[in-house]
């Protein structure tokens, strides 16, 4: 053995290390590949040795070779070996190699699970760190599932170094194993407030990354992030948060309103350019989200634009680039404010930096107007000529087309100019965008009827000079243009001056070298031209010319009949036969022109691109249903439709009537016209929906007079410039004329009000050069308005679109290994674990807020409950008052009940958002001590609470009154009513059986599919007389989050007051006789015996809820407090003073808080031995086990830790921090509960109460 | 998210590559070549952002790079990263290298690719920024190096 080691180290002396390898490669520049292959052989030898040092060295070298492009996956197993070395040095080498070359397809990865788990729980932080780093690069779904729980525990590690790595890697885990998101999220959220800035930053990073993809799920975190934003000084964190807000504001415009001020302050104050820039960006996002229906924030826009101008003018190219980038975002919503910087942007087009030029191009798109379009395009054309490198030139080309064609050619005043631009673009060397130009030509020629004559002439020229385009194989892209040219010449051949010449051009032998689909169009359109030529010569006595044409076709078409392309061949042979037949007829002196023309008769209308998709499915039509029985599977496989034919352009698929005699044809045409006129689904090119230049019908459009001052037939001569010139002259002339007219007018109406001088030419002043009819695109009537963008179904982030506000179900817990006892964790960590009753923190935070908000919140709550009773009526209101629910409106509409859990969250967010923008004074105060930011703003809220809820309320009460009356009419029994409310209540406090999840889950767990749970309520009758009924609920506790449990704890009691009489109840006063132990919390300055005014009045039949806070010292014993409610009963004739006595019973249960607990922490707790035991047996319990658990959970505020068959462990915690653990077992109607608690008397009382609960049923 | 970090010299020779998304080796080399081609033809006084290298591409991605003497440091990032922030990060990374290697030059990177990786691992993890504080990074790197040394002397 010793010898082996010695041998090993001697071997190593002769081994190459990484440096030697690198040096060797550098010395073998000529035969590098050969040298490396010998090195790889050496490495293979080294890997075979037992010595781990040798192996590690070899793996290290492999990592280097991997960088040079060598596949080293064959050594994957050796890498795993090195990873599992106990020495940090080698482990690090192994993990590095793994992170460089492992991926999801690497099969040895599954061997690593246990090794990684071991490393993660290593006592040395750097082992853990290295494992985390490596894992972050090669985590697979399996690894993520198996290790999620381990990593989650690491998020609470004592060392911030590990915490931040664990937090970051969670994002990767979520991506690979989306189920882990919900269980891990509370802890992740907690890390936002980690004392270590690095951990905090990591948490911000992860949540921002998550929220960017599914922002709506993270809206409820907005207050927390707002607080961070005002408190953090770390620019990196600030940038992330500000970016996040940019993603959130589109969902919640009120958030935007709240953001503007702090952001503007930051813009003014920060010196960091990166931060400034992101602030500007987010302000822009806010402005965009506000732009609809909000008073214009012109000051903010101005500020942004002005800051951006500074950036663009900066000598730093980076800032210039970013400035332009941000400017393009403003452009979308506020084009006017950007347009004033046109000069600056045009200047950027000349920049030597391509990135900047591209950005400037983007901006130009939004800046064009009728006035400047020609000028801008001219500039761009110059750049096209100058541009080197095809990518930039192609970019220019597409931009030119984009700019001109945007919003239905809105800015083009002269289409002749545009056609010439398109023709000029065809001369571009080596562009890839021939099809783009072609489709523009087609589009313009079809849709702008007035331009057809001109377009046809231009296209004929193009066809004539086709050799210029096809001469070079490099220019393949551009020959697409010929497709358009041929089609336009054929389809609109009546405009051709010399169809014969064009026909000849289209049948040149050279055409056979074009791509098949273009040839096909050539052949087809040659036939159309043929028809035109025939008609032209019809009636001439000398039929020689016509016959010559037929001969031309008969001579040339065989070339195409031989084509290898099916489409070309088929069309050619068809037409060839047709022409031969016609020739025969011609020889017999039969007139055929009319009939041949009829082959191609009919008008084409453009169809909107989405028209097909938008045809609504008729009611009752189920496209998925079988019409006939499905054929057997084997058959269907064979019959898979295959695209045999080349993709056919829809334009050719119009029906063609062949061999129909003249009369029949005319009759059909007439019939069709009639049908079209009567058919509501056929949209005529109606003048209503589009820009209309007073053209009542197609027939009446004057054919454009071609301006002969421009020579048409000179190829290679840019004409657009001349059009530009002409256009300018025309405008000048028009302007002059207008001025003249105006002068005349002025002279005529001298003395009357002076008209503002028409100094700068306004948009509207520019009239199009020609009467142009832009044919509307056809759309089916009652087309669905949905413009849903199809999302990528493969997006991994889609799986992370998870509602995070729903409480956790048991089934969602992260898988934990069970085949081995729990690994012991450091006590400190355990403490942390215990102290993370995640829900509690959230809840308690919420509730303290609630408490502070007092009245306001109460009202909201009761309102919410009412809402649920009649959610249908309220739905609209809901949408108005809670826009974030509008986000989920689809769900809301579908689901019978709106998701309460989210709406509760939402109302919190609502509240935060409603508390009008913090006044500047308060803001300043907040900034330094911003930990209290949220609190201050919410505290300030009640006064500044916007009128919205108040507005809503009267209406609300009215309608609920209405409802109650109705109920009374129906004489429903009180009992029933009560039940109904209970039911609602149940729904309120438990999360809704979520419509999305479809699982029937009870709070904290137990998924059962058996029977639905009976409705439960914690409301009990407090007192009742003929006027009023009081119901008490003790479900909600708040414990002092300051943590001084010893002094006193707070209990909130909700009381529902229901007016049973027909009179109005007012001036209700609530008072309780304090005991030594429990006291009603009275406002400051009030005496110990003063009563509290109930903050509402009760109209007949109405109920409302109020909350009272009690402070309690000892919680180990149940308490009873005597109290009185006094109120005034006001009827029409009289008013009397009434009083109702009641006894408030504080059970020990009411001091318990539902607290989730991890099973590991639970096990720790039981092991600790601090707890005293007690037990309880219940006989004759006749209910399903999950009902039993649910009851304990609900009535006694426990949560299920773990459930195995008919045995469950449960946990709860008192407001003073006592742990209460239950082990519930059931068999044959007998339930035994073993309980442990650190306070025996509390436990005894709780058990008694549990016993009572079950004795009742 | 950062999708990839590439360091190569003025001739396009890779000195460190770190992909946070899987690409096969030949694809990696092609990306390096293309990126080098894009970056190297740019003057030093133009902006440091590049859009749409088609390979690593997608419209959401950008190349952000810095050129130091003989080396290019190129980060490919998506829109969730702040452009100027990443530029700062590159600076932090390079300064950290400078501290750890004492006047770093290309040769250090050539012969100690592994060490450069270890330093990078303290800055960026799994495509996300881990630490931006240079002192913290240097401290962690040094602690780990010390650990390595103590292990070496144990033998």
Best CA proximity match to A808, nearest among A994, A988, A1038 = A994
DSSP A253-284: HHHHHHHHHHHHHHHHH---HHHHHHHHHHHH
Which chain B residues have a beta carbon less than 8 Å from that of A172? 126
Instruction: Answer yes or no: are the C-beta atoms of A365 and A330 closer than 8 Å.
Output: no
In chain A, DSSP finds a helix count (H) and a strand count (E) of 52, 18
pLDDT in tens, A914-930: 654 444 444 444 334 43
Confidence check: pLDDT of B69 > 50: yes
pLDDT at A1023: 77
SS3 A883: helix
Does A132 sit within 8 Å of B48, measured CB to CB? no
Would you say the C-alpha torsion A357, A358, A359, A361 has a positive or negative sign? positive
ipTM reported for the complex, 2 dp: 0.97
Of chain A, the percentage scoring pLDDT greater than 90 comes to 13
SS3 A1213: strand
Which chain A residues have a beta carbon less than 8 Å from that of B22? 103-104
List the structure tokens of A971. 């004489």
> What is the C-alpha separation between A1203 and A1159, in angstroms, rounded?
10
Which chain B residues have a beta carbon less than 8 Å from that of A326? none
pLDDT in tens, A563-577: 888 999 999 999 999
Top-ranked range on mean pLDDT: pick from A378-382, A1144-1148, B83-87: B83-87
Helices marked H in A895-1005: 900-914, 920-926, 933-939, 941-944, 947-969, 974-989
B102 touches chain A (CB under 8 A): no
Q: How far is A1079 from chain B (nearest CA, A)?
A: 51
Give A503: exposed, middle or buried? Use CB within 10 Å, 0-12, 13-18, 19+: buried
List the structure tokens of A684. 């005529």
Confidence check: pLDDT of A193 > 50: yes
Q: What is the mean pLDDT of residues A1044-1054?
A: 63
pLDDT in tens, A139-175: 999 999 999 999 999 999 999 999 999 999 999 999 9
pLDDT in tens, A767-812: 555 555 555 666 666 655 554 444 555 666 777 777 777 767 767 7
In this structure, what is the dihedral angle of CA atoms A1048, A1049, A1054, A1055, given to the nearest 10 degrees?
Answer: -30
Does A198 sit within 8 Å of B131, measured CB to CB? yes
Instruction: Answer yes or no: are the C-beta atoms of A220 and A846 closer than 8 Å.
Output: no
pLDDT at B5: 94
Does B113 sit within 8 Å of A67, measured CB to CB? yes
Query: Which residue did the predictor score with more confidence, A720 or A300?
Result: A300
Chain B residue with the nearest C-alpha to that of A242? B82
Helices marked H in A28-69: 32-48, 52-67
Does B26 sit within 8 Å of A69, measured CB to CB? yes
pLDDT at A308: 87
> What is the C-alpha separation between A478 and A432, in angstroms, rounded?
7
Tokens 């306070």 found at: A1239
Please enumerate in sequence order all residues whose Cβ is within 8 A of that of A379, keeping only pairs 6 or more positions apart, or say none: A346, A349
List the structure tokens of A433. 């965008």
Confidence check: pLDDT of A370 > 90: no
Instruction: Answer yes or no: are the C-beta atoms of A813 and A1005 closer than 8 Å.
Output: no
Top-ranked range on mean pLDDT: pick from A93-97, A602-606, A1155-1159: A93-97
Chains A, B: CB contacts within 8 A come to 144
Top-ranked range on mean pLDDT: pick from A792-806, A831-845, B66-80: B66-80
In this structure, what is the dihedral angle of CA atoms A524, A526, A527, A528, given to the nearest 10 degrees?
Answer: 90
User: CA angle at residue A75 from A73 to A76, to 5 degrees?
Assistant: 70
Best CA proximity match to A904, nearest among A762, A823, A1017, A803 = A803
Q: What is the mean pLDDT of residues A739-753?
A: 57
Instruction: Answer yes or no: are the C-beta atoms of A1224 and A1189 closer than 8 Å.
Output: yes
Which residue in the set A206, A236, A317 is minimally distant from B132, CB to CB?
A236
Tallying the residues shown for chain B, one arrives at 155
Query: Which residue did the predictor score with more confidence, A293 or B10?
Result: B10
Q: What is the mean pLDDT of residues A1160-1174?
A: 79
Confidence check: pLDDT of A980 > 70: no
Q: Indicate the helix (H) or strand (E) that contains A504.
A: helix A499-506
Does A239 sit within 8 Å of B85, measured CB to CB? yes
> What is the C-alpha separation between A691 and A327, in angstroms, rounded?
30
Best CA proximity match to A880, nearest among A972, A825, A956 = A956
pLDDT in tens, A1190-1234: 888 877 888 888 887 788 888 888 888 888 888 888 887 888 888
Chain A residue with the nearest C-alpha to that of B66? A318
Instruction: Answer yes or no: are the C-beta atoms of A1149 and A1119 closer than 8 Å.
Output: no
B130 touches chain A (CB under 8 A): yes
Tokens 């063609």 found at: A656
Which chain B residues have a beta carbon less than 8 Å from that of A352? 43, 46
| Mutate which: B126, B139, B143, vs A, most A CBs within 10 A | B126
Q: Is B3 left (phi over 0), alpha (psi -120 to 50) or beta?
A: alpha
Chain A residue with the nearest C-alpha to that of B1? A209
Residues 21-50 of B with CB under 8 A from A: 22, 24-26, 28-29, 42-43, 45-50
Q: How many CB atoms lie within 10 A of CB A563?
A: 19
Rg value, chain B, Cα = 16
B134 touches chain A (CB under 8 A): no
Does A96 sit within 8 Å of B118, measured CB to CB? yes
B55 touches chain A (CB under 8 A): no
Does B82 sit within 8 Å of A278, measured CB to CB? yes
Does A164 sit within 8 Å of B49, measured CB to CB? no
pLDDT at A649: 43
Which residue in the set A67, A96, A165 is minimally distant from B17, CB to CB?
A67
Does A169 sit within 8 Å of B126, measured CB to CB? yes
Q: What is the mean pLDDT of residues A9-36?
A: 81
Does A63 sit within 8 Å of B49, measured CB to CB? no
| N-to-C CA span, chain B | 41
Q: Indicate the helix (H) or strand (E) that contains A1069.
A: strand A1064-1072
Would you say the C-alpha torsion A594, A597, A598, A602 has a positive or negative sign? negative
Contacts for B132-137 with beta carbons within 8 Å, 24 or more apart? Answer: B132/A201, B132/A236, B132/B88, B132/B89, B132/B92, B133/A198, B134/B92, B134/B95, B134/B96, B134/B99, B136/A198, B137/B92, B137/B96
Which residue in the set B18, B51, B117 is minimally distant from A355, CB to CB?
B51
Does B111 sit within 8 Å of A88, measured CB to CB? no
DSSP A884-896: HHHHTHHHHHHSS
Confidence check: pLDDT of A897 > 60: no
> What is the C-alpha separation between A519 and A512, in angstroms, rounded?
7
Helices marked H in A1099-1213: 1159-1167, 1185-1196
pLDDT at A497: 85
Does B111 sit within 8 Å of A22, measured CB to CB? yes
List the structure tokens of A1206. 């008919």
DSSP A776-789: PPB--TT-----PP
| Mutate which: B80, B115, B116, B137, vs A, most A CBs within 10 A | B80
Would you say the C-alpha torsion B46, B51, B57, B60 has a positive or negative sign? positive
Which residue in the set A60, A318, A352 is minimally distant from B48, CB to CB?
A318
pLDDT in tens, A1-21: 555 555 555 555 557 888 889
Q: How far is A801 from chain B (nearest CA, A)?
A: 18
Say what angle helices A160-176 and A125-138 make with each other, to 10 degrees. Answer: 20
Top-ranked range on mean pLDDT: pick from A536-545, A1020-1029, A1235-1244: A1235-1244
Please enumerate in sequence order all residues whose Cβ is within 8 A of that of A685, keeping only pairs 6 or more positions apart, or say none: A605, A698, A773, A775, A776
Instruction: Answer yes or no: are the C-beta atoms of A1045 and A1216 closer than 8 Å.
Output: yes
Please enumerate in sequence order all residues whose Cβ is within 8 A of that of A740, keeping only pairs 6 or more positions apart, or say none: none
Q: What is the mean pLDDT of chain A?
A: 73
Q: How many CA atoms lie within 13 A of A296 on its CB side?
A: 8
> What is the C-alpha separation between A481 and A1003, in angstroms, rounded?
67
Which chain A residues have a beta carbon less than 8 Å from that of B146? none
B59 touches chain A (CB under 8 A): no
Q: Which domain holds residue B76?
A: 2-154
Confidence check: pLDDT of A853 > 90: no
List the structure tokens of A832. 């942390």
- Could you tell me the CA-to-CA distances from A955 to A877, A950, A1058, A1103 in Å, in that order? 10, 9, 19, 15
pLDDT in tens, A196-218: 989 999 999 999 999 888 888 88
> What is the C-alpha separation between B77 and B83, in angstroms, rounded?
9
Q: How many CB atoms lie within 10 A of CB A500?
A: 18
Which chain A residues have a beta carbon less than 8 Å from that of B21? none
Does A69 sit within 8 Å of B45, measured CB to CB? no
pLDDT at A451: 87
Domain count for chain B: 1
Q: What is the mean pLDDT of residues A125-134?
A: 93
> What is the C-alpha separation between A1190 and A1211, in angstroms, rounded?
13
Which residue in the set B82, B128, B132 is minimally distant from A243, CB to CB?
B82
0.80 exceeded by the pTM?
Answer: no
| Mutate which: A236, A271, A278, A357, vs B, most B CBs within 10 A | A236
Chain B residue with the nearest C-alpha to that of A71? B25
Does B87 sit within 8 Å of A133, measured CB to CB? no
DSSP state, residue A12: H
List the structure tokens of A382. 């110059």
pLDDT band at A741 (very low <50, low <70, confident <90, very high): low
Best CA proximity match to B74, nearest among B25, B115, B34 = B34
> What is the C-alpha separation between A861 and A953, in angstroms, rounded?
12
Q: What is the mean pLDDT of residues A440-468?
A: 87
Q: What is the mean pLDDT of residues A37-59?
A: 91
Q: What is the mean pLDDT of residues A262-278?
A: 86
Which chain B residues have a beta carbon less than 8 Å from that of A89? 147-148, 151-152
List the structure tokens of A277. 């820039």
pLDDT at A1067: 83
Which chain A residues have a beta carbon less than 8 Å from that of B85? 235-236, 239, 274
CATH number of the domain within which B113 lies: 3.30.450.60
DSSP state, residue A372: T
> What is the C-alpha separation between A598 and A589, in angstroms, rounded?
19
Q: How far is B104 from chain A (nearest CA, A)?
A: 17
Which residue in the set B45, B82, B136 is minimally distant from A239, CB to CB?
B82
Does A164 sit within 8 Å of B131, measured CB to CB? yes
Chain A residue with the nearest C-alpha to that of B45? A317
pLDDT in tens, A686-728: 444 333 344 344 444 444 444 444 443 434 445 666 777 777 7
Which chain A residues have a beta carbon less than 8 Å from that of B110? 22, 26
Q: How far is A243 from chain B (nearest CA, A)?
A: 7
């Amino acid at each position: 053995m010793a010898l082996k080691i010695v041998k090993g180290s001697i071997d190593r002396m002769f081994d190459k290390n990484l440096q030697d390898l690198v040096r060797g490669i550098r010395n073998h520049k000529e035969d590098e590949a050969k040298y490396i292959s010998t090195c790889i052989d050496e490495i293979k030898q080294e890997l075979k040795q037992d010595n781990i040092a040798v192996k590690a060295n070899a793996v290290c070298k492999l990592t280097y070779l991997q960088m040079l492009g060598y596949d080293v996956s064959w050594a994957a197993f050796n890498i795993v070996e090195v990873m599992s070395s106990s020495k940090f040095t080698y482990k690090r080498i192994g993990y590095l190699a793994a992170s460089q070359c492992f991926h999801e397809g690497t099969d040895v990865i599954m061997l690593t699970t246990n090794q990684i788990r071991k490393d993660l729980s290593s006592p040395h932080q750097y082992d853990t760190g290295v494992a985390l780093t490596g894992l972050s690069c090669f985590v697979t779904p399996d690894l993520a599932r198996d290790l999620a729980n381990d990593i989650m525990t690491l998020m609470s590690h004592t060392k911030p170094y590990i915490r931040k790595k664990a937090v970051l890697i969670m994002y990767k885990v979520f991506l690979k194993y989306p189920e882990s998101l919900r269980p891990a999220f509370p802890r992740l959220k907690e890390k936002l407030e980690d004392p270590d800035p690095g951990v905090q930053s990591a948490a911000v990073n992860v949540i921002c990354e998550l929220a960017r993809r599914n922002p709506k799920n993270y809206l409820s975190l907005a207050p927390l992030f707002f607080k961070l934003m005002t408190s953090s000084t770390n620019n990196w964190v600030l940038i992330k948060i500000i970016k996040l807000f940019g993603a959130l504001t589109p969902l919640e415009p009120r958030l935007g309103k709240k953001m503007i001020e702090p952001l503007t302050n930051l813009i003014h104050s920060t010196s960091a350019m990166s931060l400034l820039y992101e602030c500007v960006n987010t302000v822009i996002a806010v402005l965009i989200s506000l732009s609809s229906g909000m008073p214009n924030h012109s000051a903010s826009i101005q500020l942004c634009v002005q800051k951006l101008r500074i950036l663009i003018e900066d000598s730093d190219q980076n800032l210039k680039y970013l400035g332009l980038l941000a400017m393009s975002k403003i452009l979308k919503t506020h084009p006017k404010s950007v347009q004033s910087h046109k000069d600056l942007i045009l200047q950027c087009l000349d920049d030597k930096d391509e990135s900047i030029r591209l950005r400037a191009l983007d901006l130009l798109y939004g800046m064009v107007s009728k006035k400047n379009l020609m000028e801008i395009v001219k500039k761009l054309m110059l750049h096209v000529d100058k541009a080197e490198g095809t990518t930039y030139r192609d970019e220019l080309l597409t931009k030119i087309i984009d700019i001109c064609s945007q919003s239905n050619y809105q800015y083009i005043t002269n289409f002749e100019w545009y056609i010439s631009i398109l023709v000029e673009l065809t001369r571009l060397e080596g562009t890839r965008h021939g099809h783009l130009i072609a489709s523009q030509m087609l589009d313009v020629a079809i849709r702008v009827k007035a331009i057809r004559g001109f377009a046809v002439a231009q296209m004929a020229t193009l066809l004539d000079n086709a050799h210029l385009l096809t001469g070079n194989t490099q220019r393949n892209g551009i020959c697409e243009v010929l497709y358009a040219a041929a089609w336009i010449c054929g389809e609109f051949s009546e405009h051709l001056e010399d169809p014969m010449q064009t026909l000849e051009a289209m049948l040149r032998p050279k055409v056979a070298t074009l791509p098949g689909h273009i040839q096909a169009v050539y052949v087809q359109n040659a036939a159309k031209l043929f028809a035109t030529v025939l008609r032209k010569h019809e009636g001439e006595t000398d039929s020689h010319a016509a016959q010559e044409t037929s001969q031309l076709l008969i001579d040339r078409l065989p070339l195409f009949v031989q084509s290898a392309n099916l489409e070309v061949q088929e069309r050619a042979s068809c037409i060839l036969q047709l022409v031969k037949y016609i020739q025969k007829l011609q020889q017999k002196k039969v007139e055929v022109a009319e009939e041949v023309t009829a082959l191609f008769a009919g008008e084409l209308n453009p169809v909107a691109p989405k028209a097909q998709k938008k045809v609504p499915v008729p009611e009752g039509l189920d496209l998925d249903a079988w019409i006939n029985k499905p054929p057997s599977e084997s058959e269907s496989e064979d019959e898979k439709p295959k695209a045999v034919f080349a993709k056919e352009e829809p334009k050719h698929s119009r029906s063609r009537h062949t061999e129909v005699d003249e009369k029949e044809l005319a009759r059909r045409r007439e019939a069709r016209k009639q049908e079209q006129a009567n058919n509501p689904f056929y949209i005529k090119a109606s003048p209503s929906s589009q820009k209309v230049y007073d053209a009542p019908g197609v027939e009446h459009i004057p054919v454009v007079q071609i301006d002969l001052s421009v020579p048409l037939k000179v190829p290679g001569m840019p004409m657009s410039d001349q059009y530009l010139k002409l256009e300018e002259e025309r405008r000048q002339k028009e302007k002059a004329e207008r001025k003249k007219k105006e002068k005349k007018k002025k002279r005529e109406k001298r003395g009357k009000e002076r008209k503002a001088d028409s100094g700068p030419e306004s948009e509207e002043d520019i009239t199009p050069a020609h009467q142009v009819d832009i044919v509307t695109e056809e759309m089916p009537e009652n087309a669905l308005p949905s413009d849903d963008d199809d999302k990528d179904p493969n997006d991994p982030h889609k799986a992370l679109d998870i509602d995070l506000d729903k409480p956790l179900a048991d089934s969602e817990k992260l898988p934990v290994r069970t085949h081995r006892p729990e690994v012991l964790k450091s006590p400190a960590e355990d403490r942390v674990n215990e102290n993370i009753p995640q829900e509690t923190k959230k809840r308690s935070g919420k509730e303290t807020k609630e408490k502070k908000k007092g009245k306001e919140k109460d009202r909201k709550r009761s309102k919410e409950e009412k809402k649920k009773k009649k959610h249908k009526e309220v739905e609209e209101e809901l949408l108005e008052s809670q826009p974030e629910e509008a986000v989920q409106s689809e769900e809301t509409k579908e689901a019978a009940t709106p998701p309460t859990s989210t709406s509760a969250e939402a109302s919190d967010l609502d509240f935060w958002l409603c508390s009008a923008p913090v006044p500047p004074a308060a803001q300043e105060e907040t900034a330094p001590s911003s930990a209290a930011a949220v609190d201050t703003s919410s505290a300030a809220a009640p006064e500044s609470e916007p009128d919205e809820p108040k507005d809503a309320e009267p209406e609300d009460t009215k309608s609920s009154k209405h409802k109650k009356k109705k109920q009374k009419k129906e004489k429903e029994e009180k009992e029933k009513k009560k039940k109904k409310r209970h039911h609602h209540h149940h729904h309120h406090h438990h999360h809704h059986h979520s419509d999305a999840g479809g699982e029937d889950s009870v709070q904290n767990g137990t998924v059962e599919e058996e029977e639905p749970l009976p409705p439960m309520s914690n409301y009990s009758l407090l007192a009742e007389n003929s006027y009023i009924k009081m119901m008490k609920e003790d479900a909600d506790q708040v414990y002092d989050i300051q943590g001084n449990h010893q002094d006193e704890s707070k209990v909130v009691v909700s009381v529902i007051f229901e007016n049973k009489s027909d009179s109005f109840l007012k001036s209700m006063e609530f008072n309780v006789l304090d005991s030594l132990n429990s006291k009603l919390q009275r406002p400051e300055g009030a005496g110990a015996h003063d009563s509290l005014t109930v903050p509402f009045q009760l109209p007949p039949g109405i109920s409302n809820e109020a909350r009272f806070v009690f402070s309690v010292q000892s919680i180990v014993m149940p308490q009873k407090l005597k109290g009185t409610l006094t109120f005034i009963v006001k009827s029409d004739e009289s008013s009397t003073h009434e009083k109702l006595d009641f006894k408030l019973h504080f059970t020990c249960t009411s001091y318990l808080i539902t607290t989730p607990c991890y099973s590991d922490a639970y096990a720790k707790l039981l092991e600790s031995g601090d707890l005293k035991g007690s037990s309880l047996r219940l006989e004759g319990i006749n209910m399903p086990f999950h009902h039993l658990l649910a009851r304990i959970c609900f009535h006694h505020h426990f949560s299920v830790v773990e459930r195995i068959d008919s045995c469950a462990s449960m946990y709860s915690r008192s407001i003073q921090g006592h742990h209460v653990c239950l082990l519930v077992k059931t068999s044959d109607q007998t339930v035994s509960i073993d309980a442990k608690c650190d306070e025996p008397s509390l436990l005894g009382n709780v058990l008694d109460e549990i016993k009572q609960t079950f004795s009742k049923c | 998210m950062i999708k990839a970090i590439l360091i190569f010299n003025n001739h396009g020779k890779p000195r460190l590559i770190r992909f946070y998304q899987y690409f096969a080796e030949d694809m990696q080399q092609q990306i390096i070549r293309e990126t080098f081609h894009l970056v190297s033809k740019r003057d030093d006084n133009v902006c440091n952002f590049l859009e749409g290298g088609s390979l690593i591409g997608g419209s959401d991605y950008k190349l952000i790079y810095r050129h130091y003497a003989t080396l290019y440091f190129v980060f490919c990032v998506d829109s969730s990263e702040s452009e100027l922030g990443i530029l700062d990060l590159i600076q932090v990374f390079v300064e950290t290298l400078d501290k750890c290697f004492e006047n770093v030059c290309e040769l250090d990177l050539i012969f100690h690719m592994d060490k450069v990786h270890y330093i990078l691992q303290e800055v960026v993890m799994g495509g996300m920024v881990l630490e931006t504080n240079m002192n913290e990074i240097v401290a962690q790197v040094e602690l780990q190096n010390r650990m390595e040394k103590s292990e070496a002397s144990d033998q």
